[in-house]
Structure 1
Amino acid sequence: MDKLHKGWFTEFSPDDLEKMNSSGESQESSSKLLKSDGQEMGGAWPGQAFSLQVKKVLYHEKSKYQDVLVFESTTYGNVLVLDGIVQATERDEFSYQEMLAHLPLFAHPNPKRVLIIGGGDGGILREVLKHETVEKVTMCEIDDMVIDVAKKFLPGMSCGFSHEKLDLYCGDGFEFLKNHKNEFDVIITDSSDPKPRKSGECPWLDLKLISTVIRSARELFPVSKYAVGRESVWLHLPLIAHLVAFNRKIFPTVNYAQSIVSTYPSGSMGYLICAKSEVSVCDD
């Protein structure tokens, strides 16, 4: 099914879209069902869809990794879409970027070295650079096409890419971490939405990969923080519980926060914030 139809963009749950494109294949056999540690977690947001009216398509190409679409909407400004899933709109992006960046940074007493995994639109980078204590920001974005389109079509988000504190690395963030341990005070993962591989496992649901991030954070001084944007309590409660339980085996402090983001599924987004010490992360 074409997600751009008669002047409208429609975001479908990947598992529902696969069923529609395969003439009614059952959900149980869908390759788009989410899995973590071999456990099925259901569809991304099955049984619902979200639409925005398109004023003009500004960019649409396939990168080495994904389908990249930018369009001007009638009510939400320019919209970035990756593999058919809305990543950011000019109207409401701040409500996600500010939460994911500022929760761990304000909880840390003196964040100097920050790592951002993903975040190619530049929004998290913009917010991190607002903290005067931050001396260096390392950003790992695997898809340089996302960075390029953000610079051209999302200037309010991508304004930090020329900042002198930025060290930009175009590649896999998890691979980067294997060779850069003991370097970061705060690690923020701003990866894209669930796109299962052939195995059905999503990279950010693969707890072996998450462990790589956590091992890097655990070797830092006692108040290091790790933050990741993670889904909606209305749609993904079993998945959230699964990820919280896993992180509590490693971190003494694990908190889950949420905020309203109008163009994300169910209108909300969650944030998993972990700390190496027993401190208040979300209450201050």
Structure 2
Amino acid sequence: MSSCNYELIKDGWFREINDKSFPGQGLELKVEKVLYHSESEFQDILVFQSATYGNVLVLDGIVQATERDEFAYQEMITHIPLYAHRNPRNVLIVGGGDGGVLREVVKHSCVDKATLVEIDESVIKLAQKYLPGMACAFENEKVQIKLQDGFQFLRDVAEKPEQRYDVIITDSSDPEGPAEAFFQKEYFQLLHSALKEDGVVIAQASENVWLNLDYIRDLVASASSVFARAEYCYTTVPTYTSGQLGLIVCTKTENTNLKHAARHPSDGEQSQMRYYNAQMHSASFVLPTWAHQRIYRP
């Protein structure tokens, strides 16, 4: 068993310190019990029970989800593109082995099929065991699971014009290790090829305006060189470093208004959501003046 992540637990506290992604700062959570720790074929995986955030999933030393605040991320990365689309029926999720995005996708009655592509099956199995509130939709009749590399899956789709998606959600980890390819121009080009003409793509942008604004500017510029529209928005998640996580939303058509919901949740759908609503959808695109100018002005 690897000792990598145990080195991040000292005196009963887990410490997330990553000077490459989050220079000069870190995150600490009090640990009640280590539930699992090992190296999969692709990454270092740690699951622990925290004192105040429930069970916590950590990949390569970076917090991916906690039971207490995961919904703030899962709901926004899912419902922004799905409600920006007038009739999403066929949805692709790249990554997201913890099942949180999948749980949110199947809440939409209009969705007929949800395909999840995850390279690391161990993440799915561990989520089912330790994060059952997230991993509750894997057996849903709408769901299809593909255990393979997401990048290669999209390359294969590009060669099949009949296989296109209404919404594509990239729920990757941060741009290191197996997820690094998801933050490059070629990936946006593959997403463009796999998307229907009126489709919507969303990807977690890794950074937020408080951490690396130039990175966000470059990422938006890269997406804008491929898609007709590319917009940056964010959600607030306490256990992501600095409490915010960026999302980049793209579409092939100029007339798709990503910043406002084309559909609103039904009463039944809204009752299942704790973070997302139509007002929050629009508000998530409103940026502080300095950030907006830096991201969108040449």
Smaller-chain TM-score bracket: 0.7 to 0.9
TM-score (norm: length of structure 2): 0.81
1:241, distance to aligned residue in structure 2 (A): 0.6
1:196, distance to aligned residue in structure 2 (A): 4.9
- Which residues of 2 match residues 92-241 of structure 1 at below 5 A? 92-181=69-158, 182-196=163-177, 202-217=180-195, 220=196, 222-230=197-205, 231-241=207-217
Query: Are 1:269 and 2:218 counterparts?
Result: no
Partner of 2:8: 3
What CA distance in whole angstroms lies between the structure 1 residues aligned with 2:217 and 2:245? Answer: 15
Pick from 55, 59, 64 the counterpart of residue 36 of structure 2. 59
What CA distance in whole angstroms lies between the structure 1 residues aligned with 2:89 and 2:157? Answer: 16
1:193, distance to aligned residue in structure 2 (A): 1.4
1:71, distance to aligned residue in structure 2 (A): 0.3
What amino acid does structure 1 have at the position aligned with 2:180? Answer: C
Partner of 2:287: none
1:183-225 CA-partner distances (Å, limit 9, x unpaired):
211110000113158xxx92222322332222222xx2x3111
Question: What's the RMSD between the two structures over aligned residues?
Answer: 1.5
What CA distance in whole angstroms lies between the structure 1 residues aligned with 2:68 and 2:84? Answer: 27
TM-score (norm: length of structure 1): 0.85
Gaps of 5+ in 2: 262-298
Partner of 1:78: 55
SS in 2 for 1:210: helix
What CA distance in whole angstroms lies between the structure 2 residues aligned with 1:113 and 1:216? Answer: 11
1:233, distance to aligned residue in structure 2 (A): 1.2
Gaps of 5+ in 1: 17-42
SS in 2 for 1:76: coil
Name the CA shift for 1:135/1:171 in 2 (closer, same or farther; >3 Å).
same
- Percent identity (aligned): 48
What CA distance in whole angstroms lies between the structure 1 residues aligned with 2:77 and 2:202? Answer: 7
